[in-house]
Every structure is written in structure tokens, then in C-alpha cells.
Amino acid sequence: LALKIRFNFAVGDLLEGQGKDAQGDFIVSGHYTTTEVHFVCVRASSPGGGGFVQNRLYTGTRHLEDMSISGRWAPEADQFGQVGQGGEFAIAHEDSERRFAPSYDVLRLKLYFVMERLATGGFGTVSRVQRVVDGKILVWKELNYTRMNKKERRMMITEVNILREIEHQHVVKYYDTVIVKEQQKIFIIIQHCPRGDVGAMIELYKRRKKRMDEGFLWQGLKQILLA
């Protein structure tokens, strides 16, 4: 469930704010602690005007590493006393475009919806994912680090650290890393490149038994040198 909410964490654990989702605008009221939020979204009127408006109750966890919130919501009883089925929600902070340090907070994975698997390798898989809060398309690498030797683990850590520090139009952008110790896996979330990487393009030309245009090669070399 995608939400846009502006919270006011007021004195005395009171939570207030305004928001918007697919059904329209609403008012937020509730309370919070250092680790949780509990609030209700109240609509002034139904999308078409008039009629009964069913509010939603939200219970979520605050992830202090990236200031996001995720959890579950449930509808209040309707005018007939019936309660419908709820679901999960995730709210990213407005600074969510910044890079986040590796975290052991597995609930952060709920901020992403897996759309499809793109590739499978010896260490894991690569999948196209969608960030729930704003629909942004990204990619995550799901790697099983028990299959790696010490040198390969160091290379993986080095890759994450380098990507976190680099901001360049010709370098894939890093977003997040989540470590799931129980599964001995690491999830690296990076920018989605619709046309693939250079390696995939080289393989495509090899399969077609064609040569790359010289101008394209010079352009690629220029971008690599600039990066």
C-alpha cells in the first residue's frame, strides 16, 4: 500500500499529520514511541462525495537507520459492523534517495516488491524490484555469502563501500544493503538499468556475431574514463 504522509511527532507522544493515497486525502492522528507508531487515517468524505467513509488503522515499526516505517493496516468496521481485510504498508522518508549504510534490519526488505528475476549466478540471483512507497524501479542482488571464499567476500564488501561513496551519472547508483544473518544472505539494492550492463551487451553482440559500431565504443570508453 503506497502512502504519502507528512508526520508531526508532537510533544507527549502525539502523532499528527496529513496524507494522500490512491483513494484521496486524509488526516492522521495517533501516538508513537521510539520504535513504533499507531495511527488512524480519517477521511473527510468519500472520493465521490457523501456516503460512509471507512477509516484505516495502522501499526508500524520505525526503522531509525533510514527513517522509514513499515507494518500492517486494517480497516475499521463499516456501517454494518463488518471489518474487511487489511494488508502491509511501507512509508519511506523524503530523504530516501540518499544512500544507506548496510543494516541488519530485515524489515527494510518490506520496502521493496519483487517483480521478476533477471539472472541467476553461482552466488545468488538478481531481481527487478519496485519500491513500494513511490513505485521506483530498482534492482537487488540476493547473494548467499556462505558460497564465497574470503577473497570473494572482501570483494563484495569493497564493491558496496565503493558504490556508496560514488555519485556519478555513468556509475550505477547504490541505494541500500540489508544483511539477513539467519539466511546468511545479503541484499544489495542498486539502480535499475533497463538496457542491461556492458557485459550483457557484449554477450548479445557475440551471439549475433556482429561488431559494435566504432563510435559507440569510443562513447563507452569516454564514459568509463569520466567515471
Closest by CA position to 170, among listed 138, 142, 198, 189: 198
What is this structure's pTM? 0.59
Rounded CA-CA distance 112/118 in Å is: 16
The pLDDT of residue 49 = 45
Contact status, residue 71 vs residue 60, Cβ threshold 8 Å: yes
| Alpha carbon distances (Å) from 196 to 98, 112, 142, 190, 223 | 23, 20, 17, 13, 16
Q: Using the 8-state DSSP alphabet, how is residue 82 labeled?
A: -
Taking a C-beta distance cutoff of 8 angstroms, is the pair 156, 144 a contact? no
- For the cut 70, the answer to whether the pLDDT of residue 44 exceeds it is no
Instruction: Write out pLDDT tens, residues 156-206.
Output: 888 888 888 888 888 888 998 999 999 999 999 999 988 777 778 888 899
The x, y and z cell numbers of residue 82, run together, are 463488518
Per DSSP bridges, beta strands 87-91 and 112-120 are unpaired
Q: Which of 11-25, 86-100, 108-122, 139-153 has the lowest mean pLDDT?
A: 86-100
pLDDT at 121 over 80: yes
Q: What is the mean pLDDT of residues 119-136?
A: 84
Q: Is residue 99 classed as helix, strand or coil in its secondary structure?
A: coil
Residue 43: partners with Cβ closer than 8 Å, 6 or more residues away: 23, 24, 25, 26, 27, 53, 55
Confidence of residue 1 (pLDDT cuts 50, 70, 90): low
CA distance 184 to 161: 19
79 pLDDT higher than 60 = no
What cell does 145 get? Answer: 555469502
Distance CA 137, CA 112 (A): 9
- Nine cell digits for residue 13: 507522544
Residue 82 confidence (pLDDT)? 61
Query: Which pLDDT belongs to residue 51?
Result: 41
